[in-house]
Every structure is written in structure tokens, then in C-alpha cells.
């Protein structure tokens, strides 16, 4: 299952180099994470009624191309892995039909009343399992310098 989030680049998101500022890639991809959460049953009503949410514990962004003022951004997101408490999300950000960034996010399900991690309830675990696809080859990479 692919979830799509669209949003325009706002003028205040443009940095001193005339391109989308790093912080706003994170904001846009965060909105896409929220859309995935909604799609698998972890949206606002879930958080209010069950006192639980998804907390990001790790994220990795690859900035592949610049984004200019006035662009319309589209993030295509997929669930690429899960355990009984963890959700792994893959995002691809496009502008003008070209891939501009990717992000993978690892989130942990947390009981917000206790502040401790907790298992996904059966209905959410089922929705996650139904949405899950295999991770792309680019997922799971780490930052490293290659020696000669």
C-alpha cells in the first residue's frame, strides 16, 4: 500500500541558497509519516482514545536533488517493515516528477500514559501487515566514508 502526501513549497521554506531548507525536508517528510500513521489506524482518534502513539527513534534522509521555490512536493510512502512494537516507513519525495529525497523512519509504539513502549493492538498490527511491502534496495544504508 502506498500513501501519498502533497504540499506546496512555501516561500519561508527557502534558504539562503535559494532552495528548500533542510529543516523543511524534515517537516514535509514528517507530514508524510503522519499520513502513514493515519492509514494504518494510528491517527488522531487512535491517539486520543487509546493513549498511544508512534515515536520516531531513528531517521535517515538522503538529499538527492535541490527543490526550488514554488515547487509542488509529493511524498510517496510505504510500510517496509514491522515488529510487534516497531514500524519502518520508507518515503520518496518528488518535485516536478523527479525524485529529490528519500527518508526511512523507524518508529516505536508508545503507551503515552506510561511513557513505555507497547505492542501494537491487533487491529493496528493487522493493518500494518496488510500495508507492508518489501523494502527497496536503497533502504537500510548507513553513512560512511569509503576508503581508497
Q: What kind of fold does domain 2-131 have according to CATH? A: Thiol Ester Dehydrase; Chain A (3.10.129)
Task: Retrieve residue 81's grid coordinates.
Answer: 517493515
Domain residue ranges in the chain = 2-131
Question: Closest by alpha carbon to 124, among 45, 66, 71?
Answer: 45
Residue 34 CA to residue 12 CA, distance in Å, equals: 22
pLDDT tens digit at each of 148 positions of the chain: 899 999 999 999 999 999 999 999 999 999 999 999 999 999 999 999 999 999 999 999 999 999 999 999 999 999 999 999 999 999 999 999 999 999 999 999 999 999 999 999 999 999 999 999 999 999 998 888 888 7
Amino acid at each position: 500500500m502506498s500513501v501519498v502526501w502533497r504540499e506546496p513549497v512555501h516561500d519561508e521554506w527557502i534558504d539562503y541558497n535559494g532552495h528548500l531548507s533542510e529543516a523543511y525536508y524534515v517537516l514535509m517528510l514528517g507530514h508524510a509519516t503522519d499520513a502513514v500513521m493515519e492509514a494504518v489506524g494510528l491517527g488522531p482518534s487512535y491517539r486520543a482514545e487509546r493513549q498511544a502513539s508512534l515515536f520516531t527513534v531513528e531517521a535517515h534522509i538522503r538529499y538527492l536533488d535541490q527543490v526550488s521555490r514554488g515547487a509542488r512536493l509529493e511524498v510517496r510512502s510505504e510500510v517496509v517493515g514491522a515488529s510487534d512494537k516497531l514500524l519502518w516507513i520508507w518515503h520518496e519525495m518528488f518535485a516536478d516528477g523527479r525524485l529529490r529525497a528519500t527518508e526511512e523512519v523507524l518508529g516505536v509504539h508508545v503507551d503515552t500514559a506510561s511513557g513505555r513502549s507497547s505492542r501494537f493492538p491487533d487491529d493496528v498490527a493487522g493493518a500494518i501487515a496488510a500495508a507492508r511491502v518489501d523494502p527497496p534496495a536503497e533502504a537500510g544504508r548507513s553513512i560512511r566514508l569509503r576508503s581508497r
